[in-house]
Structure formats: C-alpha cells, structure tokens
Amino acid sequence: MRVRVVGAGPSGLYLAILLKKADPAHEITVLERNAPDATFGWGVVFSEETLGALRDADYPTHLEITDSFARWSAIDIRYQGQVLRSTGHTFSAIRRTHLLDILQRRARELGVALRFDTEVAAEESAEDVDLVVAADGANSALRRAGSFGTTSRPQGCKYVWFGTDLVFDAFTFIFEQTEFGLFQVHAYPFDEHTSTFIVETTEQTWRRAGLDTMSEQDSIAFCSELFASHLDGHRLMSNRSVWLDFPLVRNRSWHDGNVVLVGDAAHTAHFSIGSGTKLAMEDAIGLANGFVRHPGSVEQALVDYELERQPVVDRFQQAAGDSAAYFGRVRHYQSLAPIQFAFNLLTRSGRISHANLTQRDPQLIRVLDAWFTATATGQTALPGSVAPPPMFAPLRLGEKTVRNRIVRVGGPAGGAGLVLTGLVAVSAEGRTTEDCPVMDDSWAPHVAGVHAAGALAGLRLGHAGRRGAVRSSGVDVALRAGWPLVSASPLRYAPFGAVPAELTEQGMERVRAEFVTAARRAAAAGFDVLELDLADGYLLASFLSPLANRRTDVHGTDRLRFPLSVVDDVRAVWPGVLAARLTATDWARGGLGVAEGIEHARALAEHGVDLVHVRAGHSSGTSRPEYRRGYLTTLSDRIRNEAGVPTLVGGYLTTPDEVNTVVAAGRADLCLFEPPPTPLEAVP
Amino acid sequence: MSHVRVGIGLPNTIPGTPGALLVEWARRADTGPFSTVAVLDRLVYDSVDPFAALSAASAVTERVRLATNIAIGPLRSPAMLAKQALSVDALSDGRLTLGLGVGARRDDYAAAGVDRRTRGAVLSEQLAYLRGQLDESGVGPARPPVELLVGGASGAAFARVARYADGYAHGGGPPRAFGSAAARARAAWRDLERPGEPILWGQGYFALGDPDRGSAYLRDYYAFTGPFAEKIAAGNLTSARAVKDFVRGYEAQGCDELILYPTVADLDDLARLVEVLA
C-alpha cells in the first residue's frame, strides 16, 4: 500500500510507524511543512490508560517515551491563598519536541520517508497513492479540500500557552482574582527543567485587562507579574505564545474517499482535560488496527476506524465541553469553601465522581464528607472526623431540617428526607387531568404518614393553565369534554388542544386568592414544604415565558409581575419552607434563556422563596430538550451559584453516587432520586 | 435484566422480493421463535408499502404482533395514516404496533409533495390526532388504542415519545448506542411525569448465508446517507456469534423487543436465524 501522511505531529508519525511495522512493504511518506526541529507548544500529558495502549502498539517507542516522562500523582488547587492537594491520580507528560524526536527516529529506522519543509497542495492529493492521511491539525488544509461535514467553533475562554523553568510537582490549577476579573492557570511539569503554564480567562476579563491590544512581550510581563507569587522568581517563556480561542472541531465523517482524518484534524477536545495528544495517538492505533482487520480494503479499514473511534471521541468531547464550560463560569464559584471548590473542580467534566475519588483519594473524600456534614449542622469538622456520604447530611431550610438530600415524589419515603406530592391544583379549573387532586382538607393523614416515616412532607401546588383538561399525566391530548382553560395569552399548548382564555386582572385576583386558600389548607394539614409550580408550561410559567406570554399590558413587559404577586401573597400566609419549581430555560428558539432564568430565581429568593426546584423546557409543546443523565444539573449549578439560592434538582439521577457528587460539589442542595425498577428488589 | 423478545423483519424493502416470498416469510415467522413481524418504510425505492405488507402478513399469521418500525408518518395525512393502521389492526385482531418517525430521506418527502422542513411539528400533530382527535373524526374501523412507538434521535423526538407514545423505537447501532438512547427515553418519560417505563425497541440487520449480498443491499438502501451507509453495512450481523452477541448486548441494555431485519430475501436465511436463536 502507498500511503501519504500529511503532517508530522504525533498522530501522523505514530500512524506511519504502526503501518510500516505491520507491513514493511507499505511505502509510507510523511510530509511536513515545517522544519524537523520546529517547536510548537511545550509539554503534552498522557494517562495511564493511554500508556497501556502505546505499550501494546509499539514497545520500543513506549520505552523511550516513558524513560523521559515527568510523572506525578497529585493535583494542586491554589485558591484564595490556600493550596489543596489531591493525590492518587496518575499523570505523565513529555516535552512535545522530544516526543516528536523519538517518533521521527523510530519512523526513519523502520523505513518511513520523512520530508520536512514541504508544503502540500491540496490538489496534488489522493490519486497516486492508496491512502492519504490528513494529520495536519485543527486547521487542516487537506480537510478543507474534501467533504467531511466539518464544523469548527470557538469553545471556552481566551488562553495562552507559556512555558516556565519552574518545575511543578503536581498538576497545578491556580486561581487569581484581579481588578479585571478572575484568571486561572493550568500548569504541569514535562521534564526536569520545564513546565507548561497555560493562562486562561473569560473574553470580558481579557478585554478589561487590555490584553486584546497588548504586544506579546507586554502580555508575558502582565502574566509574569500577576502570577509572580506562584512563579517564585522563575520566568515565563514564550514560544509564539499569543492569546487564542480554542477551536472545537467536529467532523460528521472522518474519511472521504481514500483521505482519512486523524488527531486534531478529525476532532479536538478542550485542553482543560488534557486529551489532545492522547486521542491523536489512539487514533493512529485505531486506524492501523483497521488495516490489520481489513488488509485488502482501504474503505473497510476506514469505516472500521470510524466505528471504533467516533464513540470514544464523542465521550471525550462531551467531557471536554463540560470542562471548558466550567472554566468559563468558575468565577461564580468563588464563594465555595476551598474543599468544596476543589471537589467541584475535580468533578467538572463528569468523568470523576464521588465514588471514583473515594478510590483515588480517600483522605480528600473523608475530609470533604466531614466538612459537608459539619457545615450542614452548623459545626466545624475537627481533624480526623468522619461522616456519612454527603447525600446523608441534613439540610437546614428555613425553620425546618431535612434529614438527608434525597427527595421523592409520591409513594413511600423509602429513606428520602423530603416527600413531595404530585401536582395538586388550587382549583378544579387548574387541574391537569380529571384525576388531578384539588387542594382540600383531606391531606392531614398523608402528612402524618410521611412524618411517621421520618421525612418532611411537601405539597406541590399549581394551576395547570393551558396544560389543563388533558387525558393523562404528561400526555397533552385534550379531554373530549374538558373545562375552560386560562393562560397568559390565548395560545394553545399542543395540537388540537383547547385555546385558553387570556387571564384577566380579575382572574389573577381569583387565582391569587385560590393559592392563598390552598396554602392555608396546606399549613393546616401540617405540610412542611410548600412548592409553588412556576414551571412546565403551567399557568404561572406561562407568564414567565416569552413563548407563552404575548400580552401587551404590564404583564407582557414585566413577565414576573403576576407570578411574584402570587409568591408574595402565599409567603404572607405560609409559615413553612417555601419552594418554587422554576423554568431555567425554555430550550426553544425565542424562548427564555438561562441568564433570564437565573434572574427569575434571584427575584424569587428576594421575595422569600427558600428553595428553587430547577426545571427546563415545556413552556411550549415545541421545546427541544437535551436529555441525558443529570441533564438539569448544570442549570441547577448555575442558579445555585449565580443567584445564590438553594436548589433541588432532578433530571434522571439514578444512583447514590450521582447524588453524592451533585450535592458535594455544590451543584444542588437536594436531589430528586429516580432509581429505575430492578428485579433485584423482587428477590425476598 | 429482563428477557428481550426477538422479532423478525419482513423483506419488504429488499428490491425484487416476490409477493409470494414475502407472505411465506410471514407465515414461517409465525411458527418460529419470533414475537413480532416488522416492516420498514420507504417511498422512493423498490419496496412494498408497510401497511400493505402487514395486511398480507396478518392473513397468514395468528400469533405474532405486526409492527411498523418505523413508518414515516408525515408522508401520509393523519386521517389516511389512521385508516391504514386501524385497518391492519382490525384485520389482525389487535396485533398492530404502530411505530412512527420522521424518516431521513429528502426524496421521499419530495415525491409525496410534503414539506420536509416542518416534519417534526407534523409528526407531533399526527400523534396528537392518533391519541385524541381520531375518536371524534369518524375515521374507522373503531379500535381500542393501538400500541404506539416513536423513533428519532433528537431531544424533540424523545419528548414526543414521552408525550404521546407507549415506547421508543431505536434506529439501530451497537448495544452501547442503544443503551444511551434508552437512558434518554427513560429520562424524557420521567420528565413528562409518565407513570411506569417506556417500552424499548431495538433493531439490527443480518445476513447469514450471503453476507456480501446483504451488505450490498444495505449500501444501496442507505446510499442517501453518503459515507454513513458503509458504517451501517459494517454493522450487518453476518455470523451466528455476531447475532448472539448482539441479542445479549441489547438485552443487557434493557431492550424489550429487538427486531432483526433480513438483508437477503431468502427463506434459507430465515431458517438460519431460527437455528441461531434456538
């Protein structure tokens, strides 16, 4: 097979080595536009898992690479003048130029032709060889000449990649507050003399600091001064170190004819999870294996490569996206206690959880758990303390204490700290279905039952608005003989649904009175928590969403006005914990966005709401939800940390580990726990 | 881990399949280990209409369920779709499972004269019609509610599953991909506060006698997806071991009903599959 590899980075060189090793008869040429000793970037990081793959794929290079590794097992988090060290991780890194040097030598030794200082024109491409490998990076020129369904967009913060002669002994995150805003550093050693030192900040802060107009020298001086206390007399070194946007590259197909993409040309993953080189070299292994499985067919081998690699890369891109987004909003976490800040940072991408860390760093988890329970009970954890996992810590809410962080809807408590009812309507007109209960004086026995099980009892109170008069819960199909509906505006919710009447001022007065009467009944029944439903497209939510509220009166310009008036009137008569289900985002074009959702949460808190139950979507029948495990967690995180209000979140949390991770990281205070049915529980 | 039921596809979208073979296939499937006989839907192709195929199947079967998995809803008007579905359900004495989706082919929409851009909204409207309005429309035969599945991979599709359907019809792929789609379907179900759990259907392709012919068919059938066709062809189950692993994998991911579609219209291939599953 004749193979032309374009780009002599790690993926291109490694692929050349593996193909040549598999069959010395392959004619392989690697073309590189730069000189062999051109240096871009500093060090690159590997995980233990990748090293195993490298050992199996080519032992000689594995030996050389691991011989020159910097290795460490700690992550340091420098935050608010303190250093928190987490141990039990495994990292290794190598100087990028040294890695390339090893790979170049090995490739030459195996008989691969390496041509440097060679520009490759896209058109002189694919026909004279059997396979063309585009290993020419995130801005791949070769990719532009083909049809791969490429998208590339900036992701995360502004960043700049320096080196330093300070040798760190851990993967080090530094957070420094300035008059312009927060700056953070990702630093790690890669040989005995040098560390990578990446500085990152939001675009606003970057502009406020004037970095957008600074020269390279001034920018180094700025960063050197900013991090002087951490650099300890050492210097920052530039290597074409300019501020950049990280490009998120995706391709629908990784091959077009006999041209195949590998490494950054095929996909990028934000640097904050340190996976670029790892993924690139694993691509090379995956592609070489494709040819082992299908020696006779380039097409089959390329399909095989994509089938193997795309799902893996998808998962890394998801995690990298979560990590990049975390660093984009990390300024909002500056009020978290250091141990919680550290745990939040370590679990940012969803790849590490409370349970994983219990294995890796049991002391950190012990200290975290002890701190969490002590803080929850108004105490200070003494050295050596132990406590149950965070989901079992009590939570003080208003005058009440929830015994743990687990919330269930309906049914028996099953160990939960809070049991909420399903929707109870304030009036017959406000029901969803014919079976939907209307608030009355019959709830005391229910409350007594929940209390007997050791849990607090919560009532979810609402008015279905234009989602009323449907056949069954969640199914928006109108009853044949329903009842008149009301909403913020006369717009039907779902196809064939009834058109609601626009709620008049008189109607608002009536609904407010209904909420107040129902709240009094809830108090009389002994409920501990009253949860007002301002979500899911129901009546109060219809005022909040621009998709449902097209009013031209004062309620159109001030969409919070009516819902807040209900909250105020209820707060005046309700002595217990007041919660509100709230839509954080409509997940629909033209709908309510997260920034406004956070403002709404803040307004509710100012009006006496003690707990926000974070919901999303459903403001109209056409929202586009983003379902996955824990799909509401980030929204809850943002409301809790940006609006400064305690939150309850669901979003298909099915394991105790997810709950421990969410509450310990400060992403929510309470979790709706929804374990799937399992035959294990049928066994006596 | 619950037990997965295995259903068999009819070769109604394999070009040139004689009508007699299609009917004989259904007849034999009814005697085999299969829970369901299922069909695919495509307009601009050498294929038999899904409801016509199931009508024929209903005449020679007594036991198996009959399923569209999926039929492209928006190509038909809501009333016409309901008429076809209710007819099959009546002919088969209530054995129909109606799986609906928006499909992926532009040419089908163009040929049907239907605007493809509003396909999601149109499908929602059809589902709302089937679930409600139909009762009052006079369109018959009058039947108890038909089991309804919805396919698709977008957030809106999962919301549609939870809002209107009894379950989710996955479009194919390795067990792990099914598992992540199943988690999304369950999340949507909870999100809309539906009681119970969604029914989860999966699907795969097989060719045990002549894999090359089977894969050539898949390349042709999915040619409209461009390079993706090769990936689908690569997923064709061409050995007993591959079929068994696939069924086990889907079972482990909580699949309730797994449909295996033929890629070669040959009764011997059906017999081979029966043997593998025995």
Cβ atoms < 10 Å from Cβ of A67: 9
Of B164, B183, B227, the CB nearest to A475: B164
Residues on chain A touching B252 (C-beta within 8 angstroms): none
- Among A32-41, A241-250, A647-656, B132-141, the range scoring the smallest mean pLDDT is A32-41
Tens digits of per-residue pLDDT, A361-415? Answer: 999 999 999 999 999 999 999 999 999 999 999 999 989 999 999 999 987 889 9
- Among A44-48, A529-533, B70-74, B164-168, the range scoring the smallest mean pLDDT is A44-48
What is the average per-residue pLDDT within A576-604? 97
3-class secondary structure per residue, chain B: CCCCEEEEECCCCCCCCCHHHHHHHHHHHHHCCCCEEEECCCCCCCCCCHHHHHHHHHHHCCCCEEEEEEEEHHHCCHHHHHHHHHHHHHHCCCCEEEEEECCCCHHHHHHHCCCHHHHHHHHHHHHHHHHHHHHHHCCCCCCCCCEEEEECCCHHHHHHHHHHCCEEECCCCCHHHHHHHHHHHHHHHHHCCCCCCCEEEEEEEECCCCHHHHHHHHHHHCHHHCCHHHHHHHCCECCHHHHHHHHHHHHHCCCCEEEEEECCCCHHHHHHHHHHHC
ipTM for the complex shown = 0.94
Q: Determine contact, residues B151/B101, Cβ cutoff 8 Å.
A: yes
What is the average per-residue pLDDT within A658-677? 96
**Does the distance separating the beta carbons of A651 and B187 come in below 8 Å?**
yes
Cβ atoms < 10 Å from Cβ of A679: 8
Distance CA A543, CA A555 (A): 7
Tens digits of per-residue pLDDT, A257-288? Answer: 999 999 999 999 999 998 899 999 999 999 99
The full DSSP string for A247-299 is: EEEEES-SEETTEEE-GGGT----GGG--HHHHHHHHHHHHHHHHHH-TT-HH
**Does the distance separating the beta carbons of A300 and B187 come in below 8 Å?**
no
| B261 to chain A, closest Cα gap in Å | 21
Tens digits of per-residue pLDDT, A308-355? Answer: 999 999 999 999 999 999 999 999 999 999 999 999 999 999 999 999
Q: Determine contact, residues B104/B120, Cβ cutoff 8 Å.
A: no
A202: left (phi over 0), alpha (psi -120 to 50) or beta: beta
Distance CA A631, CA A618 (A): 14
How many alpha carbons fall within 13 Å on the CB side of residue A458? 34
Residues on chain B touching A623 (C-beta within 8 angstroms): 156, 159
The total number of residues written for chain B in this structure: 278
pLDDT level of residue B45 (50, 70, 90 thresholds): very high
Q: Are strands B257-262 and B5-9 parallel, antiparallel or unpaired?
A: parallel
Distance CA A122, CA B266 (A): 47
Q: Residue A72: helix, strand or coil by DSSP? A: strand
Distance CA A430, CA A27 (A): 75
Q: Are strands A244-251 and A236-237 parallel, antiparallel or unpaired?
A: unpaired
Q: Residue A471: helix, strand or coil by DSSP? A: strand
Q: Which of A200, A350, A175 is nearest to A272 (CA)?
A: A200
Tens digits of per-residue pLDDT, B227-277? Answer: 889 999 999 999 999 999 999 999 999 999 999 999 999 999 999 999 999
Give yes or no for A180 touching B (CB within 8 A): no
3-class secondary structure per residue, A388-399: CCHHHCCEEECC
Q: Which of A631, A84, A644 is nearest to A341 (CA)?
A: A84
Amino acid letter at B225?
T
Q: Determine contact, residues A563/A545, Cβ cutoff 8 Å.
A: no
| A422 to chain B, closest Cα gap in Å | 9
**Domains observed in chain B:** 5-277 (3.20.20.30)
Amino acid letter at A504?
T
Of B124, B176, B177, the CB nearest to A621: B124
**Does the distance separating the beta carbons of B197 and A627 come in below 8 Å?**
no
Rounded percentage of chain B residues whose pLDDT exceeds 90:
93
The C-alpha torsion from A121 through A122 and A124 to A125, rounded to 10°, is 140
Q: Determine contact, residues A304/A72, Cβ cutoff 8 Å.
A: no
Could you give the residue numbers annotated as active site of A? 538
Of A306, A477, A623, the CB nearest to B131: A477
Distance CA B246, CA B240 (A): 10
Question: Under 8 Å CB-to-CB from A363, ≥6 apart: which residues?
Answer: A87
Residue among B190, B197, B231 with most chain A CBs within 10 A, to mutate: B190
Distance CA A364, CA A384 (A): 12
Give yes or no for A587 touching B (CB within 8 A): yes
Distance CA A271, CA A467 (A): 45
pLDDT level of residue A126 (50, 70, 90 thresholds): low
Count the helix, strand and coil residues of chain A and give each as a percent rounded to the nearest 5: 40, 25, 40
Rounded alpha-carbon distances, angstroms, from residue B229 to A578, B215, B221, B236: 55, 10, 8, 11
Of A307, A311, A624, the CB nearest to B156: A624
Measured between its terminal Cα atoms, the distance across chain B in Å is: 20
Distance CA A407, CA A531 (A): 13
Give yes or no for A306 touching B (CB within 8 A): yes
Q: Are strands A70-72 and A91-95 parallel, antiparallel or unpaired?
A: antiparallel
Distance CA A251, CA B91 (A): 47
**Does the distance separating the beta carbons of A629 and B183 come in below 8 Å?**
yes
The full DSSP string for A553-614 is: SHHHH-TTHHHHHHHHHHHHH--SEEEEEEES---STTS--HHHHHHHHHHHHHTT--EEEE
* pLDDT exceeds cutoff 70 at A501: yes
* pLDDT exceeds cutoff 80 at A564: yes
pLDDT level of residue A154 (50, 70, 90 thresholds): very high
* pLDDT exceeds cutoff 80 at A617: yes
Supply the Cα-derived Rg of chain A in whole angstroms. 29
Q: Determine contact, residues B202/B178, Cβ cutoff 8 Å.
A: yes
- Among A113-127, A348-362, A570-584, B131-145, the range scoring the smallest mean pLDDT is A113-127
Q: Are strands A670-673 and A486-487 parallel, antiparallel or unpaired?
A: unpaired
- Among A59-63, A242-246, A620-624, the range scoring the smallest mean pLDDT is A620-624
Tens digits of per-residue pLDDT, A55-98? Answer: 999 999 999 999 988 899 999 999 999 999 999 998 899 999 99
Give yes or no for A623 touching B (CB within 8 A): yes
| Token digits of residue B62 | 């007594």
Average pLDDT, chain A: 94
The C-alpha torsion from B115 through B116 and B119 to B121, rounded to 10°, is -60
pLDDT, position A125? 60
| A304 to chain B, closest Cα gap in Å | 8
Residue of B nearest to A628 (CA): B184
> How many Å separate Cα A40 from the centre of its chain?
30
* pLDDT exceeds cutoff 60 at A122: no
Q: Residue A53: helix, strand or coil by DSSP? A: helix
* pLDDT exceeds cutoff 60 at A39: yes
What is the average per-residue pLDDT within A168-182? 96
Rounded alpha-carbon distances, angstroms, from residue A381 to A66, A354, A373, A404: 42, 19, 8, 18
Question: Under 8 Å CB-to-CB from B212, ≥6 apart: which residues?
Answer: none
Extended strands (E) in A377-417: 395-397, 400-402, 406-409
Preceding omega of A394 cis (within 30 degrees of 0)? no
How many alpha carbons fall within 13 Å on the CB side of residue A357? 31
Distance CA A616, CA A586 (A): 6
**Domains observed in chain A:** 2-327 (3.50.50.60), 388-676 (3.20.20.70)
How many alpha carbons fall within 13 Å on the CB side of residue A122? 9
Tens digits of per-residue pLDDT, A466-487? Answer: 999 999 888 888 998 899 999 9
Distance CA B44, CA B113 (A): 12
Question: What angle (nearest 5°) sits at the alpha carbon of residue A232, between those of residues A230 and A237?
Answer: 85
Q: Determine contact, residues A379/A372, Cβ cutoff 8 Å.
A: no
Distance CA B217, CA B214 (A): 5
* pLDDT exceeds cutoff 70 at A23: yes
The full DSSP string for A150-207 is: EEEEEEEEEEEEEEES---SSEEEEEEE-SS-EEEEEEEE-SSS-EEEEEEE-HHHHH
Rounded alpha-carbon distances, angstroms, from residue A628 to A15, A525, A653, B158, B187: 35, 37, 10, 11, 7
